[in-house]
A and B are shown apart, each in its own frame.
Chain A
């Protein structure tokens, strides 16, 4: 889904709070870099100019487990009627009882992905606005998190990093600072290899699993061993969901790359059980969009070492 990778244009710092202006306007810099990363930053000719951040609080939780909204969505309609990935499974037993799950379906929750993209994208745009406001060339060591605020039913997106200027360097193309999750020696190695960071790329994919009888039976620990079948076996519907959610996340990020490469990709998948046979599988994929700007420098011969710790 949308976002930052191609990152929204800098629209000025109109929606930043008053305190942010005061902080960013002061003479000293602050940085969230660790000391080794700070030293590596200076060694590369980058000067930290300030800690920059962006927030967005989104109403989002309402679409969660067992909400009236979800109950209203037919599990039999393709993707709950919204397009995107969808697959169905049919029970081999025919009608057994009204409680028997004759159909199963996996479907992409595109509205959940849209909420995540909107929250992350707004927070990211504010981070870039802050960096732009202090004349930064780039933002390094970006970290982000999405936190559910207790008792409020909302999710907060918080993204922060350290704005830097390149000693004697020209302003970034279009005046928009580049951003990267990397800092310190990892960033130095990237630059040595002939690449420059363009922007952070991040996305989330969400697939809902509505189990049919076979999946439900296997997920509850059942097996076909009693009838001479295999004692352990794959749960086809769940495997499909896990494969799909990773594929969707990769496709979303690929759309943000626009021909560049993704460096340091971190793919995290989690599953939440909502009720018996019903779960949501979510996958986030983060990385730094990088572009080759020159040939790689040959690396010096490494020195073998043994640490005494």
Chain B
């Protein structure tokens, strides 16, 4: 790769083929049907990847603290993967990417290195109207085809997959502290505050990203927790969701229909 956000040569050839009308997608048949029903056409399966070496940060045994170096690493690596996926979508002239998945893989050959992958299906509006986000880039979302159709019916449009991360070290308890509470039902306020703070930091960062996109809200927020390879006291809190903006004009939501399913 010639530059940090560049795409490899192989990607160029694959994307050229897609530009000539052939499309690939990881949508199921039902999802494909509903994406078409929402007025979009799939252009191609797009992805971005980044193999990132995470640095070392010392932590204090008895102190809860954010590990900023690790937080930055986890954030930058995902951001690189996402940017490359957006570049592929941009090259196809897409309005957005639906069904985005973000994965982290560890390989035996790379100690302290991990591969961050972002994948999804690039789509374009059949009407010719632009659905790119306020930054002029294709929107990204982790919504399925069904969810994408549903959100369009509510008068909201996706702006981007937003995320916030925080790698936090939870302090160990000292011997005297543990003995002092021995045998009691008691809240451990230091632990509560540490976990609370870590999750809130991740969620605040996710919300900051949404604000930058001019979004009015985030739907489908997920909070994930992983220790990766750092041991049980160091945890990554990851908040993920799809930022949405309300379109102008009143939307009348259809009243749900009561049905009896004749399936088994």
A residues near B, CB below 8 A?
Answer: 16-20, 22-23, 26-36, 38-40, 42-43, 48, 51, 53, 55-60, 62, 69, 111, 114-115, 118-119, 122, 149-152, 154, 156, 160, 185, 188, 299-307, 309
Cα of A145 to Cα of B43 in the assembled complex, Å: 41
Cα of A149 to Cα of B195 in the assembled complex, Å: 11
Q: How far is the CB of A158 from chain B (nearest CB, A)?
A: 8
Q: How far is the CB of A67 from chain B (nearest CB, A)?
A: 9
Cα of A23 to Cα of B200 in the assembled complex, Å: 7
- Residues in A with CB closer than 8 Å to B211 are 26-28
- Residues in A with CB closer than 8 Å to B151 are 35, 38-39
Cα of A166 to Cα of B204 in the assembled complex, Å: 25
- Residues in A with CB closer than 8 Å to B146 are 35-36
- Residues in A with CB closer than 8 Å to B207 are 23, 26, 28, 30
12 sampled A-B residue pairs with Cβ under 8 A: A28-B207, A30-B217, A31-B221, A32-B221, A36-B146, A39-B150, A39-B154, A39-B253, A57-B187, A154-B188, A300-B258, A301-B258
- Residues in A with CB closer than 8 Å to B204 are 19, 22-23, 26
Which listed residue, A27, A43, A59, touches B256 by the CB 8 Å rule? A43
Cα of A187 to Cα of B93 in the assembled complex, Å: 41
Q: Is B122 an interface residue (CB 8 A)?
A: no
Whether A35 pairs with B150 at a CB distance below 8 angstroms is yes
- Residues in B with CB closer than 8 Å to A26 are 204, 207-208, 211
- Residues in B with CB closer than 8 Å to A29 are 216-218
Q: How far is the CB of A108 from chain B (nearest CB, A)?
A: 15
Look across to chain B and name the residue whose beta carbon is closest to the beta carbon of A48: B217
Residues of B202-257 at the interface with A, using a CB-CB cut-off of 8 Å, are 203-204, 206-208, 210-211, 215-223, 232-233, 241, 243, 253, 255-257
Whether A118 pairs with B258 at a CB distance below 8 angstroms is no
Cα of A31 to Cα of B221 in the assembled complex, Å: 6
Cα of A185 to Cα of B256 in the assembled complex, Å: 9
Q: A23-B203, A26-B204 are in contact. List 9 more A-B contacts (CB 8 A).
A: A20-B196, A27-B211, A28-B207, A28-B211, A30-B241, A57-B192, A59-B186, A62-B182, A118-B185
Cα of A111 to Cα of B183 in the assembled complex, Å: 11
Cα of A302 to Cα of B260 in the assembled complex, Å: 6
Look across to chain A and name the residue whose beta carbon is closest to the beta carbon of B210: A28
- Residues in B with CB closer than 8 Å to A18 are 197
Q: Is B184 an interface residue (CB 8 A)?
A: yes
Look across to chain A and name the residue whose beta carbon is closest to the beta carbon of B149: A35
Knowing A39-B150, A51-B221, A58-B186 touch, does A305 contact B260 (C-beta < 8 A)?
A: yes
Cα of A195 to Cα of B236 in the assembled complex, Å: 41
Which listed residue, B195, B201, B241, touches A57 by the CB 8 Å rule? B195
Q: Is B263 an interface residue (CB 8 A)?
A: yes
Cα of A19 to Cα of B205 in the assembled complex, Å: 10
Cα of A309 to Cα of B262 in the assembled complex, Å: 12
Look across to chain B and name the residue whose beta carbon is closest to the beta carbon of A114: B185
Cα of A185 to Cα of B216 in the assembled complex, Å: 23
Q: Is B191 an interface residue (CB 8 A)?
A: yes
The 4 closest A-B pairs by CB, nearest first: A19-B200, A35-B147, A57-B191, A115-B185
Whether B170 pairs with A152 at a CB distance below 8 angstroms is yes
Residue of B146, B192, B200, B263 ringed by the most chain A CB atoms within 10 A: B192
- Residues in B with CB closer than 8 Å to A300 are 257-258
Q: Is B91 an interface residue (CB 8 A)?
A: no
Cα of A22 to Cα of B163 in the assembled complex, Å: 17
